[in-house]
Structure 1
């Protein structure tokens, strides 16, 4: 089975990109599935189900959604195998811009939009830096010059990535991404696989539920700002 991880900032167009990419498969006999990872709520599973795509939803609640992803991806992979899925796509929002749910050897995609600002690519971190493919969306809203500058800044952060421009409304550019999905490596297990980058460091007292403010309550893995 082919597994593809798709990550990106909230509202960058991940769901639309995945949906249009699947539409680009046309009448090909490909069994598709999506696992949507989020924090509190999402209606994206309804979007996928209307397109006839098998969908499962994982809400992390108080946990980091990408830590939640790592804890559950093996279970999701085996579920997809049992369902005889050909391509399983996981969708996750890097809410802290530090998470990176990308796995070595597994095709990884980062979705980022032109409206997020020129300097955003260097702020996103490993989620973009270690992706195989960077999809840039909302190019129809900005000028050609702005698109080129933004793509240049993406390339500076991840010079090895393949950059694709996809319109989440019309689907323009999605066929090329679909071709890359079909060419992804086929695996029967995630045993012995590793993340491409470590998750954010933990664990501090606030991770465990502390609410009191003050240094007397700072315990665990903490970092203090230097203002001298």
Structure 2
């Protein structure tokens, strides 16, 4: 089984891209399953069920989504093996600009859209900068010049990544994308002993543990304070 990790900001078009790509993967005779990681709510699992794709979801709730991903990915891989999947796609919404849900040796894809703002590639952090492939969506809504400028900003932040444009509505580019994610993948039986490409957001502070009171007297653990003297 091959594991593919797909991440990106909410509403960037991840699910639409995955659905169109699954069509191409099924045409290749591959059995595909999806595990959806999210924070508070998702009904994307219903969409996958409608097209007869094995799917499960996990909601992190009050836990950092990255920590939740790392804590559960071993069980997710085991679930995929039990179903005899050829490809297991892990989908997670990057809910902070510090997210880093990629594993060394596992193909990593970041999805970002043209409408998110010209400086967005600078803000996303390791979720974009450590990806193998960056998929840019919603190109049909902007001009060719805007697409090229945005793609160049993405490439500047991650020079080694493959940059692809995919239309989540028509599926244009999904076939080529399916070929790339099937190529040179490492078949896995477990993720035990593998490492993340980048450390997850720092923890633990008193607010991580449920503190609600404001003030230095209540702040403990891994904290970072602003230097108010800095000009």
TM over 0.5: yes
Whole-Å separation in 1 of the counterparts to 2:98 and 2:150: 20
Q: Alpha-carbon deviations, 1:133-165, whole Å to 9, x = none?
A: 000000000000000000000000000000000
1:15-72 deviations in Å (ceiling 9; x for gaps): 0011111112353321110000001111100111111110000011101112101000
Q: Distance in 2 between matches of 1:27 and 1:132?
A: 24
The CA RMSD measured in Å over matched residues stands at: 0.9
**Which residue in 1 is equivalent to 2:219?**
218
Helix, strand or coil at the partner of 1:101: coil
Structure 2 CA distance for aligned equivalents of residues 26 and 219 of structure 1: 51
CA distance in 2, matches of 1:26, 1:78: 21
Moved over 4 A (4+): none
Give the TM-score of the pair, scaled to structure 1. Answer: 0.98
1:167-218 deviation line (CA, Å, top 9, x unaligned): 0000000111111222222122213210000001100000000000011111
- Aligned partners of 2:41 and 2:71: how far apart in 1? 19
Q: What are structure 1's unaligned runs of at least 5 residues?
A: none
2:40 paired residue number: 40
Unaligned runs of 5+ in 2: none
Are 1:10 and 2:30 matched, yes or no? Answer: no
Question: Residue 103 of structure 1: CA displacement?
Answer: 0.3
Q: Secondary structure at the match of 1:111?
A: strand
TM-score normalised according to structure 2 size = 0.97
Q: Distance in 2 between matches of 1:40 and 1:155?
A: 32
Compute the displacement of 1:99 (Å): 1.0
Distance across 1 between alignment mates of 2:206 and 2:190: 36
**Equivalent residue number for residue 98 of structure 1:** 98
